[in-house]
Structures are given as structure tokens and as C-alpha cells.
Amino acid sequence: MTEQLRLMAVHAHPDDESSKGAATMAKYVSEGVDVLVVTCTGGERGSVLNPKLQGDPYIEENIHEVRRKEMDEARQILGVRQEWLGFVDSGLPEGDPLPPLPQGCFALEDVDEAAGRLVRSIRAFRPQVITTYDENGGYPHPDHIMTHKITMVAFDGATDTDKYPEAEFGPAWQPLKVYYNQGFNRPRTQALHDALLERGLESPYGDWLKRWEEFQRAERTLTTFVPCADFFETRDKALIAHRTQIDPDGGWFHVPMEIQKEIWPTEEYELARSLVDTDLPESDLFAGIRDNV
């Protein structure tokens, strides 16, 4: 190979990179791939979800700074690079009627203008592959949906020098593939649920599967299964580094590691766009690219 493989993972908040595709990134880092996490917002409006830290006045008053430190620790654990796009967290409005999004937040930005920041990052880093969320955001958080929108605009915009001039955004670059993270999929959830019950263990997925039935959630097309079980422990360490967001004794970690590795040793993706030929299903995000790099 004459040029290094590069993977960019575009996420909405600090901690998303550790819960979606983290083992994949750690695997590729171990193989010499250059991996960059782009985090769209600072997570400023995120709640303290770890009950052990709730009520801490320093954390609640300095959540932005705390989450930046958590992100830096997780980045080091995964071995990736990371940069901030600098948008402001939109929060997750709840209620009936649904309250409006706060002024100045990421989800209210002009999509083309916001994508320009990501275009600049893409042109500087020059990834062959990008991962992000699907059009539903993975779940309907306004920042996740906006992350999807700007990533898809930037995928094409990175090579559009009329829309994003080189003088301002850097030399044009065309990524070759973009994937949607689909790690929270029904086949995986059902397989782990069944394996736990067969072994006489309690499953944390019963309610998940019921909600899938109740809401008749549409199944996504899983195209790519990356074997990365050797990096599940690294993934969990990175996730725990986001200590304000993750309870280390919570449901994320109820499935014994040996069962995870035996029953479902991959992380899953949906190939959304490709400018190279590839055969589906894949086991490598760089399928169709490696031989030409």
C-alpha cells in the first residue's frame, strides 16, 4: 500500500463514539489504520445519567468541561484521534406539547453551513471511509438526526469546490464509502437475549424486544459485520471513561463478556453509499478499497 487507510467516525456527542463502533475503531487502530472521531457537540445539555454522580454540584455546573475530559480519556483508551466541530448540544426536549429546541443549538443550524465545518475536517483528514447515523439518528435525538444530515451533505460536498471553495475549505477530497452504525439491531439483541435465558441468566433485553414489537420498528439492512470481539474490553473501558453518562453497574454491562464473544463477535453497519465495487455482506469497512490504496 502506498497510502495509509483512514477512517472517520462522525458522532453527535462525547460518549457516542464509545457506544457505537468503538471495538471496530480499536481493531482498525491495532492494524495501523488512522482513525479520527469527529464530535459535533460538546454534550453541554446532557444529563448526569450515572446515579453515583448525580447531585454533584461541580459536575452539574461544569458539565461541558467534565465531558471534554471524559472524551479525552476515552480517546486515549481507543487509540484514536478526536476533534470537536464546536456546535452546541440541542438537548432532548420532552413533553406534550413538545417544547421548542433552544436557540443556537446544533439541530437548528443551517444544514449546508454546518456541513461546511465537516467538509473542512474531511478535506484535512482525507478519509476513505466515514461512519455516522442513519436518517433516524439511530434513535430520534435531534443532534443525531442533524449529524446524519451534515455527514451526507459533506460526503458529496468535500469534492464540490463550487459550494465549498478550496481557498476556504482546503483541497477537495472524495471519501469512497459511508456507513450507518447499526450496532443496536434486533438480530443481535435477540441472539444475546436467547443465549442468556438458555443459560438461566437474566436478560436486560426483554423490554427492548417488547418495544420493537409494540412500535413495529422497521428492520435496517445489515450489510457489514466487522469481527472485533478481541476489542470488546477496550470498548467497555472507553465507555466507562464517560462516567457521567454510564453507570458501570448498569445494563450496558450485564451480558458476560464470554457470552458476547461467543454469540455475537461482530459490530454491524449498513453501507449507505459506495463509490467502489464491493460484495455484500462484508466483513471489512475497507472492502473494495484496500487493494487500490
Same domain, 192 and 282: no
For 18-40, b/e burial (b = at least 16 CB within 10 A) is bbbbbbbbbbbbeeebbbbbbbb
- Say if 1 falls within a structural domain: no
Q: What's the domain range around 168? A: 6-184+221-258+266-292
- Say if 97 falls within a structural domain: yes
The pLDDT, as a whole number, for residue 216 is 67
Q: Which residues contact 103 (CB under 8 A, 6 or more apart)?
A: none
Domain count along the chain: 2
Same domain, 25 and 148: yes
User: CA angle 13-227-40, nearest 5°?
Assistant: 15
Same domain, 174 and 202: no
As a whole number of angstroms, the distance between CA 100 and CA 71 comes to: 28
* pLDDT by position in tens, the chain (length 293): 447 999 999 999 999 999 999 999 999 999 999 999 999 999 999 889 999 999 999 998 999 999 999 999 999 999 999 999 999 999 988 877 888 999 999 999 999 999 999 999 999 999 999 999 999 988 889 999 999 999 999 999 999 999 999 999 999 999 999 999 999 999 999 999 999 999 999 999 999 898 888 776 778 999 999 999 999 999 999 999 999 999 988 888 999 999 999 999 999 999 999 999 999 999 999 999 997 77
CA distances from 78 to 25, 75, 134, 246 (A): 7, 5, 23, 17
C-alpha cell at 281: 455482506
Same domain, 81 and 140: yes
User: CA angle 237-240-242, nearest 5°?
Assistant: 125
The pLDDT, as a whole number, for residue 1 is 40
- Helix (H) / strand (E) element for 177: namely strand 177-181
The CATH number of the domain holding residue 145 is 3.40.50.10320
Same domain, 193 and 150: no
- Say if 70 falls within a structural domain: yes
Grid cell 454533584 — which residue?
Answer: 56
**160 burial type by CB count under 10 A (0-12 exposed, 13-18 middle, 19+ buried):** middle
> Which backbone phi and psi does 193 adopt, to 5 degrees?
-60, -50
Same domain, 100 and 200: no
Asked whether 84 and 42 are in contact (CB, 8 A), the reply is yes
Same domain, 178 and 272: yes
Annotated binding-site residue numbers for Zn(2+): 13, 16, 144
Annotated binding-site residue numbers: 13, 16, 144
